[in-house]
Structure 1
Amino acid sequence: MTDTATRLTPTATTDETTAVGIGLLVLRVGFGGLMAAYGTQKLFGWFNGPGWRANADSFTAMDYNPGEFFGTLAGAAELVGGLLLVFGLFTPLAAAIVLGTMINAINVLWSGGLFPADPSVPGFTTPLLFALAAAALAFTGPGRFSLDAGRPWQRRGVVWGGAAVALAVVTAVVTLIFKAVL
Structure 2
Amino acid sequence: MTGATGLDLALLLLRVAAGGFLLPHALGKLLGWFGGPGLAGFADELRGFGLPARAPLPLLLAGVQVLCGLAVLLGWQARLGAGVAAVFLLATALLALPKGWFWMRGGAEYSLFWVLTLCAVALAGPGRWVP
**TM beyond 0.5:** yes
Query: CA-atom RMSD, angstroms?
Result: 1.7
Q: 1:92 corresponds to which letter in structure 2? A: R
Structure 2 residue runs of 5 or longer lacking an equivalent are none
> Could you say which residue in structure 1 is the equivalent of 2:125?
141
Q: Does 1:55 align with 2:42?
A: yes
1:77-106, Cα deviation, whole Å (9 max, x unpaired): 321111001111112211111011011101
Partners in 1 of 2:43 and 2:30 — Cα distance?
Answer: 9
- Contact 2:27–2:62, Cα closer than 8 Å, also in 1: yes
Q: 1:29 corresponds to which letter in structure 2? A: V
Q: CA deviation at 1:69?
A: 3.9
Judged with a 3 Å threshold, the aligned counterparts in structure 2 of structure 1 residues 114 and 74 are, in CA distance, closer, same or farther, namely: farther
Q: CA deviation at 1:74?
A: 3.2
- Contact 2:72–2:79, Cα closer than 8 Å, also in 1: no
> Could you say which residue in structure 2 is the equivalent of 1:103?
90
TM-score calculated relative to the size of structure 1: 0.66
> Could you say which residue in structure 2 is the equivalent of 1:151?
none
In proportion to residue count, which structure has more helix?
Answer: 2
Partners in 1 of 2:30 and 2:115 — Cα distance?
Answer: 21
Q: Which has the larger radius of gyration?
A: 1
Partners in 2 of 1:69 and 1:100 — Cα distance?
Answer: 20
Partners in 2 of 1:124 and 1:90 — Cα distance?
Answer: 27
Q: CA deviation at 1:73?
A: 3.4
- Contact 2:29–2:38, Cα closer than 8 Å, also in 1: yes
Q: Does 1:128 align with 2:115?
A: no
- Contact 1:42–1:50, Cα closer than 8 Å, also in 2: yes
Q: 1:135 corresponds to which letter in structure 2? A: C
Partners in 1 of 2:22 and 2:54 — Cα distance?
Answer: 20
Identity of aligned residues (%): 27
When the two structures are aligned, how many residues end up with a matched partner?
131
Structure 1 residue runs of 5 or longer lacking an equivalent are 1-13, 148-182
Q: How does 1:66-85 map to 2 (within 5 A)?
A: 66-85=53-72
Selected match of 1:35 from 5, 9, 22: 22
Judged with a 3 Å threshold, the aligned counterparts in structure 2 of structure 1 residues 67 and 59 are, in CA distance, closer, same or farther, namely: farther
TM-score calculated relative to the size of structure 2: 0.90
